[in-house]
Amino acid sequence: MVNREQTVSERGGGRTSADQQRTAPGSGRPRPSGGSARRRTSRRATADPVARHRAAVENTLRWADQAAGRGDFRAALAWLAWLDLIGEELPDGYGTKRADWRSAQGREAA
């Protein structure tokens, strides 16, 4: 049993081998929860790639709509440009929205 009067240095720096095992190597900081240095894989990362792609496209369209709703037509058009870049065909109605957003962006610039 360690005498409570001893200093930290007398007790070996205050760190036990168990403490050292719970810290990330070389950092002295605690490892991520779970005590493992390995990166955990989320359920999303292991999901079907087609489903992940579809979700990414849906999110991109939602962000475009949100940007346009704030009046940020430049950002809305940029979101659609990302879909063009990956060769994704825009869903029905987004061709019209793109034209409207371009028109609104032109009016703001004038």
Q: What is the pLDDT of residue 42?
A: 56
pLDDT of 77 reads: 97
Interatomic CA distance for residues 39 and 58, integer angstroms = 28
Find the angle CA(61)-CA(48)-CA(35) to the nearest 5 degrees: 105
Apex 44 CA angle, 41 and 46, nearest 5: 60
Residue 1 has pLDDT above 60, yes or no: no
Mean pLDDT (the chain) is 76
In sign, the C-alpha dihedral spanning 39, 42, 48, 49 is negative
Residue ranges of the domains in the chain?
A: 1-40, 44-109
- 39, 30 in Cβ contact below 8 A? no
Q: What percent of the chain is modeled with pLDDT above 70? A: 57
pLDDT of residue 106: 86
DSSP structure class, residue 13: T
What is the per-residue pLDDT across 54-96, written as a single tens digit (0 to 9) for each?
A: 999 999 999 999 999 999 999 999 999 999 999 999 999 999 9
Q: Is the dihedral of CA 16, 22, 27, 29 positive or negative?
A: negative
Q: For residue 89, count other CB atoms closer than 10 A to its CB.
A: 9
